[in-house]
Amino acid sequence: MKPVVVAIDGPAGAGKSTVSRRLAQRLGFQYVDTGAMYRVIGVLAAERHIDPNDAEALERLCRETRISFRDDPEGRTHIYADGRDLSDAIRTPEAAQWASKVSAVPQVRAHLVAQQRALGDKGGVVMEGRDIGTVVFPDAMAKFFLDASPRERARRRAAELHREVSEAEIEQVAREIAERDTRDRNRAHAPLKPADDAVYVDTTDKSIDEVVQLLYDIVTARRAELATL
């Protein structure tokens, strides 16, 4: 039996994390946030003053670091590097930029893709990232590419700061995600792009519930279809 994988890709702020987590819950699947893995390598590289272009040092770092996930009693998934909880440290704007930089290095991708495939091979996973439908699981049972207007994506990221945000701050976030998107879309290895067979979903004017329902219906229809083959 092929493992059942739902692949969710898209740029920053398109709603991937919230939607993927909720969809996984509804399906009774495991949720895997691959961006968190690139963020861990980015944060550790910055801590150790490793140049994001130093492929050799980054490869060594990947080889020496054991990344693991564990859910706390409230159901929040924590990410650990050799047992150290980095769940909060990886959520800063700097960590996002470091992640985007180290993720362009093929050796880093090779290490993390292997770990992602091992997690997905158990089956019953919703995996979120930039290259899940194109590279990590090209045979995924269902593939989605979530997108939203740049302005809406910036507004959502700014809202995650959980305080009043000024227009100037939204502009700043918009610039940061535009910079990151350009890097993620234009890198030579596994750039961000929809798989040919991905369902493209523009989430700009949709609520989270609407998007989750849309994906859930498509996944369950696909499962029913496969069961009759």
Under the rule (CB under 6 A), what is the footprint of ligand DC?
12, 34-35, 38-39, 96, 99-100, 103, 129-131, 180, 184
CA–CA distance, 106 with 116 (Å, rounded to integer):
15
Nearest distance in Å: CB 190, ligand DC: 7
CA–CA distance, 143 with 137 (Å, rounded to integer):
9
Nearer to ligand DC, 147 or 184 (CB): 184
Nearest distance in Å: CB 218, ligand DC: 21
C-alpha R_g of the chain: 17
DSSP letters, 158-222, are: HHTT-S---HHHHHHHHHHHHHHHHHHHH-SSS-S---TTPEEEE-TT--HHHHHHHHHHHHHHH
Nearest distance in Å: CB 159, ligand DC: 15
Nearest distance in Å: CB 229, ligand DC: 29
CA–CA distance, 213 with 90 (Å, rounded to integer):
29
Nearer to ligand DC, 103 or 203 (CB): 103
Nearer to ligand DC, 100 or 164 (CB): 100
Nearer to ligand DC, 36 or 215 (CB): 36
